[in-house]
Amino acid sequence: MIRVLVVDDSALMRRKITDILASDSQIEVIDIAKTGNDAIKKVVHLKPDVVIMDIVMPDIDGLTALTYIMNEVPTPVVIISANVAPGSVNALKAVELGAVDTILKPSGEISVDIETLSKEIITKVKAASRVDVNRVQNFLNRISQYSKASAQKNSHLRHIVAIGASTGGPKAIKEILPYLSPEAEAAFLIVQHMPAAFTKSMAQRMDCISQIKVKEAEDGDIVEQGVAYVAPGDFHMAVSMENNIPTIRLNSDPKVHSVRPSVSVMMNSVAECFGNKTLGVLLTGMGQDGVEGMRNIKKVGGFTLAEDESTCVVFGMPRVAIQEGVVDKVIPLGYMGIEIMKHISR
């Protein structure tokens, strides 16, 4: 059984969310809490498998409670709130503080129609119960702040780094970025499985901690040295050579492995355009997206890295790639940024 603590200052919301969870035979609501302070005490005492929590509450708000929980008693938290619209500051802040996922209440703080999200709530609670939040917190603790250096534009790239990630990816990518130097003759393409509207905010926040420029990719962008391009949510990102200039193209082709953007779509195009200049990097995440792309990078003489199981929040995509024999080197996340720089500096 997945033991869940439900936290919301509305008695109606607590009851409705409890009823939704109770409808699944694998989930048990062990208690409820009305405030952030109450939630913290019950997490410490009851040690639930998952916490469902609102943001706006009396005394201690949900984000403050989340911060305490992740630092003192790391526990998977799913935020259900009217204040986590896709791309909003609160939504991204919740993920950065360690929340496994967020769910937007459909009609305000008191959403009498919350039952319309029953399937999503149950699915995300089950997914959260499988996440190792101790690893999430370790990633947060190791992220450093770096000042930005100006990147020199250069279309004559010696390397192209193709990075793919899913569950746990934003924190993993944030740990790698500070190591990447704008002086290296490389550009970086990033596919993170994330809904539309989240990716632009993610890119902006990552830009603040990185020496290289980080931006959400736009159709027609020229791939330049010292820049990282984040695939926008719900669009595949590919690179094509146009008049011998590497150019980013976005499309809404069918999903690959049930996702769009797809890591493999991006990696396949990079391998085709850059051949043995390509470095493929596969980070934490569920499923097998990216495995085909890593295989094609190796076929053209490129090099491939995968995150080690010991640091993955979910050892899914890297595990399949390693089992398929398409990974040249397996690296713990704490050393991944260093390894990338060693490879592109050779």
Number of neighbours of residue 290 by Cβ within 10 angstroms: 36
Output the CA angle 119-121-123, nearest 5 degrees.
Answer: 65
pLDDT of residue 244: 83
In angstroms, the CA 34 to CA 42 distance is 11
pLDDT of residue 145: 37
Residue 193 annotated in active site: yes
In angstroms, the CA 320 to CA 147 distance is 36
At 171, list the tokens.
């924190």
Residue 258 annotated in active site: no
**Sheet strands (E) in 9-86:** 27-33, 50-53, 77-81
From 193, 236, 257, 343, active-site residue:
193
CA distance readout (Å), 339 to 17, 22, 45, 187, 238:
45, 47, 41, 16, 25
From 262, 289, 308, 343, active-site residue:
289
Per-residue pLDDT of the chain (346 residues; tens, 9 = 90+): 999 999 999 999 999 999 999 999 999 999 999 999 999 999 999 999 999 999 999 888 899 899 889 888 899 999 999 999 887 888 888 888 889 999 999 999 999 999 999 999 999 999 999 988 766 555 555 543 333 333 334 345 789 999 999 999 999 999 999 899 888 889 999 999 988 878 998 998 899 888 899 999 999 999 999 999 999 999 999 999 988 889 999 999 999 999 999 999 999 999 999 999 999 999 999 999 999 999 999 999 999 999 999 999 999 999 999 999 999 999 999 999 999 999 988 7
Percentage helix, strand, coil for the chain under 3-state DSSP, each rounded to 5: 40, 25, 35
From 166, 201, 264, 269, active-site residue:
166
329 burial via Cβ count (<10 Å: 0-12, 13-18, 19+) = exposed
In angstroms, the CA 27 to CA 32 distance is 14
DSSP-derived pairing of the beta strands 2-7 and 329-331: unpaired
Domains annotated on the chain, with CATH: 2-131 (3.40.50.2300), 159-345 (3.40.50.180)
In angstroms, the CA 16 to CA 113 distance is 9
pLDDT of residue 291: 97
pLDDT of residue 88: 82
Q: In what order do the strands lie in the sheet with 329-331?
A: 213-216, 227-230, 186-192, 159-165, 278-282, 303-307, 329-331
pLDDT of residue 197: 79
